[in-house]
Amino acid sequence: MRASTFRRLFNLWPPFLCNSMRLQMLSDDWREARVVLRLRPWNRNYVKSQFGGNLFAMTDPFWMLLVMHQLGNDYFVWDKAGAIDFVAPGREDVYAHFKLEPAVVDELRAAAANGEKVLRWFETDVVTANGNVIARVRKQIYVRLKPKAR
**For residue 138, pLDDT beyond 90:** yes
What confidence score (pLDDT) does residue 85 get? 98
What confidence score (pLDDT) does residue 150 get? 84
Quick: pLDDT tens for 82-128: 999 999 999 999 999 999 999 999 999 999 999 999 999 999 999 99
Measured distance CA(103)–CA(105) in Å, rounded: 5
Q: What percent of the chain has pLDDT over 70?
A: 100
Quick: pLDDT tens for 8-32: 999 999 999 999 999 999 999 999 9
Measured distance CA(40)–CA(49) in Å, rounded: 9
* Contact present, 137 and 84 (Cβ < 8 Å): yes
What confidence score (pLDDT) does residue 1 get? 85
Domains parsed from the chain with CATH numbers: 3-149 (3.10.129.10)
Band of residue 6 on the pLDDT scale cut at 50, 70, 90: very high
pTM of the model: 0.93
What confidence score (pLDDT) does residue 148 get? 92
What confidence score (pLDDT) does residue 20 get? 96
- Average the pLDDT over 33-50 and give the result: 95
Q: Which residues are CB-contacts of 150 (< 8 A; sequence separation ≥ 6)?
A: 114, 115
